[in-house]
Amino acid sequence: MELRLKGKVAPIIGPAKGMGASITLAFSGEGCKLVLAGRDMSATEPVAKELMVRGTEVIVKACPFLAGDVSHQITGADLPVDGGWAAL
């Protein structure tokens, strides 16, 4: 099924384990650019590296999610939004 997500940006919170890992792989498979945000960088970095080897454009953001606006923590100035946003 074509979801027309190719080139769109998908921010994913908790991208390396469990359901988050499945979501990460699904959006990558659809051709999305990914912003992987989470607390456990030791788990997230290997996932990001594997996706980059596969040709997925990835930004990794350490995000403690302790206070404040989580979307602002994820969507810093370095976010490539030219492709638009994928609805989560």
Task: Give the pLDDT confidence of 28-49 residue by residue, as tens digits.
Answer: 999 999 999 888 889 999 999 9
Is the per-residue pLDDT at 8 higher than 60? yes
Kindly report the average pLDDT of the chain as a whole number. Answer: 79
Of 3.40.50.720, 3.40.920.10, 3.40.50.1970, 3.10.130.10, the CATH number of 1-65 is 3.40.50.720
| Burial of 17 from C-beta contacts in 10 A (0-12 / 13-18 / 19+) | middle
Whole-prediction pTM value? 0.73
Rounded to whole angstroms, the Cα distance separating 23 from 60 reads: 15
Q: What is the pLDDT of residue 50?
A: 93
- How many Cβ atoms are within 10 Å of 72's Cβ, its own excluded? 8
Is the per-residue pLDDT at 77 higher than 80? no
